[in-house]
Structure 1
Amino acid sequence: MSAPEFSLLLISLFTSVGGQFLLKMGALKLAKVPSMNFFSLVFNIITIPELLLGLTCYGIGVIAYILLLTRVNLSVAAPAILVGYIFSVLLGYFILKEPISLLPIVRLGLIVREVILVV
């Protein structure tokens, strides 16, 4: 993988993980949404900056991933993006204080092994 390809991979990876984190932070502010009409729900969502920023990060991540796919095989790009799962679990554990059970730890190990083997 060349430097520009690796840069696209990192941009896609970190903006997607950042987007997930921001969406979670915004969802915590939104709290549990009671059943309401669609327009009220959309209005509540667009008034929370973390949700808008999270969606923007996701959009940037998707654009970078599409550009990456024009340069590398899907069999290389897809496993490499799985590293984002590792960062999401770690952010949840260290920042949001979410517990991690044994099964996610095993999955993280398998993902790391897969990425090393493929990339």
Structure 2
Amino acid sequence: MGLREFGYLFLSILFSVAGQIFLKLGAIKLAKISASSIIGRIIEIFLTPELIIGLGCYGLGAIAYILLLTKVDLSMAAPAVSLVYVFSVLLGYFLFKETIPISRGLGLGFIIFGVILVTWR
């Protein structure tokens, strides 16, 4: 994977993780809103800026991923993008004070090791 491909991978991961963080922030805000109907709830989703930003970040991450797929095999790109899970869990810990049980920590270690194995030349 060259520098350009790494850049696409980095942007895809960055925007995807940002999308997850903004969706969580929006969900926290949305939980405080008590719309009485499903239609009201859907309208609130579209009126919550954090959720719109989160969806936009996901879109940008998808564009970067598509550009990555023009340069590398799916069998390399898909596992590499799984690093989104690792960074999301870590940011959940630091930003939202979520716990990371030992089993989840081990799982993250396996993901990192797997990405190294798949992308190693």
- Is TM (by shorter chain) over 0.5? yes
Partner of 1:110: 110
Secondary structure of the corresponding residue to residue 71 of structure 1? coil
1:70 Cα deviation after fit: 1.4
Counterpart residue identity of residue 101, structure 2: S
| TM-score, scaled relative to structure 2 | 0.91
Q: In angstroms, what is the RMSD of aligned CA positions?
A: 1.4
Aligned partners of 2:30 and 2:86: how far apart in 1?
Answer: 25
Partner of 1:71: 71
Aligned residues: 118
Identity, in percent, stands at: 53
Partner of 1:57: 57
Secondary structure of the corresponding residue to residue 50 of structure 1? helix
Please list every run of at least 4 consecutive aligned residues from structure 1 whose deviation after the TM superposition is greater than 6 angstroms: none
Q: Does residue 88 of the first structure (1) align with residue 77 of the second (2)?
A: no
| TM-score, scaled relative to structure 1 | 0.93
Q: Which residues of structure 1 form unaligned runs of 5+?
A: none
Aligned partners of 1:35 and 1:64: how far apart in 2?
Answer: 38
Counterpart residue identity of residue 103, structure 1: S
